[in-house]
Amino acid sequence: MKKKIALVTGGYSGEAEISYLSAITVGNNIDTEKFDYYKIDIHPDGWNYVDAAGNKTAVDKSDFTINLAGEKIKFDAALMCIHGTPGEDGKLQGYFDMLNLPYTSCDAATSALTFNKRYTVAVAAFGGINVAKSLHIFKYAPVSAEAILQQLTLPVFVKPNNGGSSIGMSKVTEATALEAALEKAFKEDNQVLVEEFIAGREFTIGVFKTKGEIIPLPITEIITKKDFFDYEAKYLGASEEITPAKVEEAIAEKVRAAARKVYELLNCRGIVRIDFIYNEAKGEPFMLEVNTVPGQSEASIVPQQVKAKGWALKEFYTAVIEEAV
Q: Which residues pair with 51 in a beta bridge?
A: none
3-state secondary structure of 27: helix
* pLDDT the model gives residue 238: 61
Tens digits of residue pLDDT in 102-133:
999 999 999 999 998 899 999 999 999 999 99
Pairing between β-strand 201-210 and β-strand 272-279 as defined by DSSP bridges: antiparallel
Give the pLDDT score at 146.
92
φ, ψ at 274 (rounded to 5°)? -115, 130
Question: Mean pLDDT throughout 65-72?
Answer: 95
- In this prediction, residue 8 has a pLDDT band, given cuts at 50, 70 and 90, of very high
| Average pLDDT of every residue of the chain | 92
**Percent of the chain scoring above 70 in pLDDT:** 94
**What 3-state class would DSSP assign to 110?**
helix
pLDDT for the residue numbered 40: 98
Q: What is the pLDDT of residue 53?
A: 93
Q: What is the mean pLDDT of residues 303-324?
A: 96
Using alpha carbons, select from 36, 61, 37, 33 the residue that is nearest to residue 47. 61
189 compared with 231, residue with greater pLDDT: 189
Contact 265, 258 (CB under 8 A): no
Count of residues for the chain?
A: 325
Q: How far is CA 88 from CA 10, 33, 191, 237, 322, in A?
A: 11, 28, 17, 24, 20
For residue 184, the model assigns a pLDDT of 93
Predicted confidence band of residue 309 (pLDDT cuts 50, 70, 90): very high
pTM listed for this prediction: 0.90
Task: Assign domain 112-131+198-292 one CATH number from 1.10.760.10, 3.40.190.10, 3.30.470.20, 3.40.605.10.
Answer: 3.30.470.20
Residue 41: pLDDT over 60: yes
Please provide the distance, in angstroms rounded to a whole number, between the alpha carbons at the two ends of the chain.
Answer: 14
Architecture of domain 134-196: 2-Layer Sandwich (3.30)
Q: Are 241 and 301 in contact (CB under 8 A)?
A: yes
For the chain, how are helix, strand and coil distributed in percent, rounded to 5?
30, 30, 40
pLDDT tens, residue by residue, 162-191 = 755 467 889 999 999 999 999 999 998 899
Per-residue pLDDT of 258-271, as tens digits, reads 999 999 999 999 99
Q: pLDDT value at position 117? A: 87
CATH of range 3-105; options 2.60.40.10, 3.40.50.20, 3.20.20.60, 3.40.50.2300: 3.40.50.20
pLDDT computed for residue 164 by the predictor = 53
Residue 233: is its pLDDT beyond 70?
no
Instruction: Provide the pLDDT for residue 298.
Output: 82
Condensed to tens digits (0 to 9), the pLDDT of residues 47-63 reads 999 999 999 999 999 99
- 78/42 Cα distance (integer angstroms): 12
Give the DSSP H/E element, type plus range, for residue 240.
Answer: strand 239-242
Q: Name residue 226's amino acid.
A: K
Pairing state between β 3-10 and 77-80: parallel
Domain boundaries, the chain: 3-105, 112-131+198-292, 134-196
According to DSSP, residue 60 is labeled B
**pLDDT for 237:** 54
Same fold, 3-105 and 134-196: no
DSSP alpha helix (H) spans, 127-248: 145-151, 178-186, 231-235
Q: How many helices (H) and strands (E) does the chain have?
A: 10, 17
Residue 215 main-chain phi, psi, to 5 deg? -115, 115
CA distance 186 to 172: 15
User: What is the reported pLDDT for 131?
Assistant: 96
